[in-house]
Amino acid sequence: MAFVNCKQGNDRKNDVAENKLNTEEQALGENNVAYQWAHTALEATANDTDKFKPRPTITSRFLGLIFTAMFDAWSRYDEKAATVYLDGVERRPQDEQTIKNKEIAISYAAYRAMSEYFYSDSTLFRSKMKELHLDPDNHSLDPTTPEGIGNLAAKMVIENRKNDGSNQYGEVEGSNGQPYFDYTGYKPVNDVENNTDINRWQPKYFSDGNGGQFAPGCLTPYWQNVKPLLLKSSDQFRPGPPPMVGSEQLKEEVAEVVELQANLTPENKALVEFMRDGPKSVQQAGHWLVFAQDVSRRDKHTLDDDVKMYFLVESVAMDGFIACWDSKMHYDFARPFALVHEYYQDKTIKAWAGPDKGMVEMKGQYWRPYSPDTFLCPPFPSYVSGHSTISGGCAEALKLFKGSDEFGSEVELVPGALTEPDNVDDPVVLKFPTFTKAGEMAGISRVMGGYHIQADNIEGLELGRNVARYNYKKFLELIGEKEQIAQVNK
């Protein structure tokens, strides 16, 4: 889509620039340029999953920084917004604060940031620039032009985040140039064959899809060391400890996992699969970007609306993962996969036996999550749930941003399609009446699927909401809404 042509109304006030658009004249919802770049970012996230397997921590950082670059570029054409990383670039005069200039600036910021973080999709991004009639080879850093401001915004984000603890470039000592190498030397207490401490995480075998098996290592076990975007620190809202073996709470919560799986309805299965996602998943940060785009279409958002909303939501997703990993690695807690085996050893239970077997009576030591053989269980400690943290946080962020909890999105799915494709149920419709409900549905789906106990879910939801409330105040400061900050603090 080409950029919107700027039109002049006859009744404009003299102090408003001739080519500055009224809201009614802007491209709205899915037609605004910020929405289009968000859609492109989702394509890139899906491709990243396809190329590198699920890595939700890493892609959440990519999305967080891409929308930060877009926000910073946009801020120079807003009347009062401040920047996150774009230092030394002055706000443009009011007569330059046009929709067209905003579109150009955020496009160059998005293009440069996406090309850095999703580097293998550079052709996709170049095509988008050309579709928008912009030159992808314009490398101007002129702080007085929208092209230069967009390029500078991305450049400063990239430079400021280069040594943020993510080890994106494999430059941390001992990494041998390997990107995202674990420089903390984490080793699980339990190995895949021996569970010597039932309270701690144990790796599990996955099918390699070719008749063999492998046990994936812990995903980014150093992520708690990544510098947050808006939070003060990764442990700022760290929850208290999970229930331990021997406690009545853990006994009851493990029993709940077994009971929920034994009674999965078609709607339950669809929810588990929708939130877990399948091939080319956009991960949790992307999932909530999709929900944010639902809101943009529903409410016919302007470019300004979308730039701000995506930045807020993805800041919460990025910081939420950092805070979540702080809890995960601090407590190093077991997953139901091992806990059910321990609690129900040699006891007969009803459980899901696999894609071709369905629900059967089995010994507890053979219990497994409702998940494909090639991705049986997330390969990292459980407490707290990442889905719950990100979903609780992003739901809260959307509620705060919109000033209402109303959502109204829905999706039709075939239960079992991603898990037991030869044993599917009739299509069902999942409805998300509110943002809060959508977040809670995401969280409980992880208990239904057998990936988490309820404590992982409940504490994760609360952690995410704490991150969202904190980031929202920082967001209000950045957009210059001091009166709203006072109201939030009441």
pLDDT tens-digit readout, 340-353: 999 999 999 999 99
* Domain-ending residue, one of 160, 191, 222: 160
What pLDDT score does 488 carry?
Answer: 67
Please tell me the total count of domains within the chain: 2
CATH number of the CATH domain containing 33: 1.20.144.10
pLDDT, one tens digit per residue, over 435-454 is: 999 999 999 999 999 999 99
What pLDDT score does 208 carry?
Answer: 83
- Residue 290's contacts (CB-CB under 8 Å, 6 or more residues apart) are 42, 282
Are both 261 and 402 inside the same structural domain? yes
Are both 231 and 131 inside the same structural domain? no
3-state DSSP percent of the chain in helix, strand and coil, to 5: 50, 5, 45
Are both 129 and 242 inside the same structural domain? no
Are both 381 and 321 inside the same structural domain? yes
pLDDT, one tens digit per residue, over 190-243 is: 999 999 999 999 999 888 888 899 999 999 999 999 999 999 999 999 999 999
Q: Is the pLDDT of residue 138 over 60?
A: yes
* Mean pLDDT of all residues in 409-422: 95
What pLDDT score does 15 carry?
Answer: 39
What pLDDT score does 376 carry?
Answer: 87
Q: Mean pLDDT across the chain, nearest whole number? A: 93
Report DSSP letters for 311-359, one per residue.
Answer: HHHHHHHHHHHHHHHHHHHHH-BPPHHHHHHHHTTT-EEEEE--TTT-E
- Residue 457's contacts (CB-CB under 8 Å, 6 or more residues apart) are 384, 385, 388, 443, 444, 446, 447
Percentage of the chain beyond pLDDT 90 is 87
The pTM of the whole model exceeds 0.75: yes
Q: Which domain holds residue 339?
A: 206-488
Cα-only R_g, the chain: 23
Are both 149 and 258 inside the same structural domain? no
* Domain-ending residue, one of 160, 193, 222: 160
Phi, psi of 412 (to 5 degrees): -100, 130
Are both 278 and 424 inside the same structural domain? yes
